[in-house]
Amino acid sequence: MNTISMTSTKPYLLRAIFEWAEDNDFTPQVLVDAEVDGVEVPLNHVVDGQIVLNISSTAVQLHVMDNQCLSFSARFSGVEQDIYLPIESVMAIFARENSQGIFFEEADDDGSDPDDLMLTEVPASDVKKAPRRKKGDASHLKIIK
Tens digits of residue pLDDT in 83-129: 999 999 999 999 999 999 999 986 533 344 444 444 444 454 544 44
65 CB-near residues (< 8 Å, 6+ apart) = 11, 14, 15, 18, 71
**Predicted pLDDT at 132:** 47
**Predicted pLDDT at 144:** 52
6 CB-near residues (< 8 Å, 6+ apart) = 116, 117, 118, 119
The number of angstroms, rounded, from the C-alpha of 89 to the middle of its chain's C-alpha atoms is 10
**Predicted pLDDT at 7:** 86
> Tens digits of per-residue pLDDT, 14-33?
999 999 999 999 999 999 99
Domain borders along the chain are 3-106
- Tell me which CATH homologous superfamily contains domain 3-106: SspB-like (2.30.30.220)
**Predicted pLDDT at 138:** 54
**Predicted pLDDT at 105:** 82
> Tens digits of per-residue pLDDT, 54-75?
999 999 998 999 999 999 999 9
**What is the rounded average pLDDT for all residues in the chain?**
81
**Predicted pLDDT at 5:** 77
Tell me if 95 sits within 8 A of 26, measured CB to CB.
yes
The number of angstroms, rounded, from the C-alpha of 112 to the middle of its chain's C-alpha atoms is 16
71 CB-near residues (< 8 Å, 6+ apart) = 62, 63, 64, 65, 82, 83, 84, 85
**Predicted pLDDT at 6:** 84
Band (pLDDT 50/70/90 cuts) for residue 53 is very high
Amino acid at 78: G
| Pairwise CA distance, residues 76 & 142, whole Å | 41
Is 40 a residue whose pLDDT tops 80? yes
Tell me if 74 sits within 8 A of 52, measured CB to CB.
no
Average pLDDT over residues 30-54: 96
